[in-house]
Copies of this chain bind each other. A is one copy, B any other.
Amino acid sequence: MKHNFNAGPSILPGVAIENTAKAILDLNGTGLSLLEISHRSKDFEAINNECMALWKELLAIPDGYKVLFVGGGASMQFCMLPYNLLNKKALYCESGVWAKKAAKEAKLFGEVVTLSSSADKNFSYYPELKNIPQDADYLHITTNNTIYGTELRRDIDSPIPLVADMSSDILSRPVDVSKYGVIYGGAQKNVGPAGVTFVIVKESLLGKVQRAIPSMLDYRTHIENDSLYNTPPVFAIYTMLETLRWIKAQGGVTKMNERNVQKADILYNYLDNESQMFVGTAEKTSRSVMNICFVMTPEHKDLEEAFLEFAKKAGMLGIKGHRLVGGFRASTYNSLPAASVQALVDCMREFEQQNKK
């Protein structure tokens, strides 16, 4: 039995994987592979439309917003966003490496002010989001920080348009979309395979910058064409659709949230209340429900490699921590079963008992 804790690309629902494999061999009984059909065909149009409709339904996206599917990853959004929205000044919350990368790209388009940062403690907490100045075009936040295991996990009020990179916690909980100007992210954690990026954008924010925007980087191009301006990543959109169908069948984002909190609690409880060997790295009030980061206590540090080896034999995949934090990381995205988290805790407990100092 393997337990997939990969940080992304990561575990997907079994049914989404199986149905994708089927569609690659034969889409809807057409005798053609999903890979061989035109993106202008009725079959793909139906996939694209259902996918957009499910996004709107699952997140209760209000009127005035559009859902787009584009290529290039969230990293492309780091420049596409300021291209479309940054006139003079933008605020960025520095909650980790990805947030810093987003801010760096924005500097090519205008003044970038760091509203708050947790760099002082290696991003082990979520920076404060208050006293937001009103003279900026938008405030950018990264809601979940995969590397450091911190998460905002609530919808804040902002006097200026709020832009959120939700690559690693989208659809893991209900979100009040009306509080955001733009929500974007790579699909490859909770909503699909690598290769497609979702953008939920409030249309009234667009068309206000003075610069000329290349067609492919202009959100309006994709809005006007229902994300079919050019050939979209057909396959990735199909698997995303299958993943959204699964989320809906499971009970939607309310149910996802319930399960995700329960899963995270299994591991955090062990770290907080039982283990003498492992300790969480993120401050408790900032803890992520998606990526749980932990290290060994100083007196056990020499056992890290041994534990990784032990866990690997027990079927735990992808639990090595990012080099910027060290230690371990368990990513517990939507489709990871609670049984996998329990198996990891059992494995940690067993190792701890065998290696007590």
- A residues touching B (Cβ–Cβ < 8 Å)? 2, 4, 6-12, 17-18, 20-22, 24-25, 31-33, 35-39, 70-76, 78-79, 101, 104-105, 108, 186, 188, 193-196, 212, 214-217, 229-236, 239, 317-318
Contact = CB atoms under 8 A, between A and B. Distances in A.
A278 to B, nearest CB: 22
Given A12-B33, A236-B195, A108 B212 contact: yes
B2 A32 contact: yes
Contact of A194 (B8, B18, B78, B233): B233
Contacts of A193: 35, 234-235
B233 A35 contact: no
B6 A37 contact: yes
B32 A186 contact: no
A318 B2 CA distance: 43
A261 to B, nearest CB: 23
Given A17-B33, A73-B231, A186-B230, 5 more contacts: A7-B38, A194-B233, A195-B195, A195-B196, A236-B236
Contacts of A78: 214-216
A23 to B, nearest CB: 9
Contact of A4 (B36, B215, B318): B36
18 contacts: A6-B36, A7-B38, A9-B38, A9-B39, A9-B231, A17-B25, A24-B24, A35-B193, A39-B194, A73-B216, A73-B230, A73-B231, A74-B230, A105-B216, A108-B212, A108-B214, A195-B232, A233-B236
A234 B79 contact: no
A35 B18 contact: no
B194 A239 contact: no
A7 B39 CA distance: 10
Given A21-B25, A24-B17, A194-B234, A72 B216 contact: yes
A233 B230 contact: no
Question: 8 closest pairs, A vs B, by CB?
Answer: A71-B71, A195-B233, A79-B214, A75-B230, A35-B193, A71-B72, A21-B24, A194-B234
Nearest to A317: B32
A216 B75 contact: yes
Contacts of A104: 215
A71 B33 CA distance: 21
Contacts of A195: 71, 195-196, 232-236
Nearest to A16: B35
A282 to B, nearest CB: 22
Of the listed residues A37, A70, A212, A233, the one surrounded by the most CB atoms of chain B closer than 10 A to its CB is: A233
B38 A318 contact: yes
A11 B36 contact: yes
A236 to B, nearest CB: 6
Contacts of A24: 17, 20-21, 24
A214 to B, nearest CB: 4
Contacts of A12: 33, 35-36
A233 B24 CA distance: 16
A235 B21 contact: no
Nearest to A106: B214
A105 B230 CA distance: 14
